[in-house]
């Protein structure tokens, strides 16, 4: 991991702030990296990272894409946050 942690509240788009807040609340880490930031999943190994753009033409769609990609993190078997069929529920 590189970069300092950043707050979801620092994002300029409300829709993206809300999805970032939900992910950070379930354990994702948000760090300053690239154009704006990068999300790191909840696994110890960090199986998944998601780049977060600082600006978006369509913030609602970008927010939905972030949430959808976050579901690709499988989480360990038996993790209470694991959704049926895999992925974290956000």
Q: What angle do CA 48, 62, 72 make, to 5 degrees?
A: 25
Applying CB under 5 A, does 88 fall inside the site for Zn ion?
no
Applying CB under 5 A, does 23 fall inside the site for Zn ion?
no
Applying CB under 5 A, does 72 fall inside the site for Zn ion?
no
22: part of which helix (H) or strand (E)?
Answer: helix 14-25
Applying CB under 5 A, does 90 fall inside the site for Zn ion?
no
> For the purposes of burial, counting CB atoms within 10 Å of the CB of 80, is it exposed (0-12), middle (13-18) or buried (19 or more)?
exposed
Applying CB under 5 A, does 73 fall inside the site for Zn ion?
yes
Selected from 43, 49, 53, 71, the binder of Zn ion by CB under 5 A is 43
Residues near Zn ion (CB under 5 A): 41, 43, 47-48, 73
């Amino acid at each position: 991991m590189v970069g300092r942690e950043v707050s979801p509240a620092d994002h300029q788009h409300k829709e993206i702030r809300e999805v970032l807040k939900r992910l950070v609340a379930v354990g994702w880490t948000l760090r300053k990296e690239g154009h704006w930031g990068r999300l790191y999943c909840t696994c110890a190994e960090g199986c998944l990272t998601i780049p977060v753009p600082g600006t978006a033409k369509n913030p609602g769609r970008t927010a939905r894409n972030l949430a959808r990609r976050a579901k690709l993190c499988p989480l360990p078997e038996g993790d209470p946050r694991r959704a049926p069929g895999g992925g974290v529920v956000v």
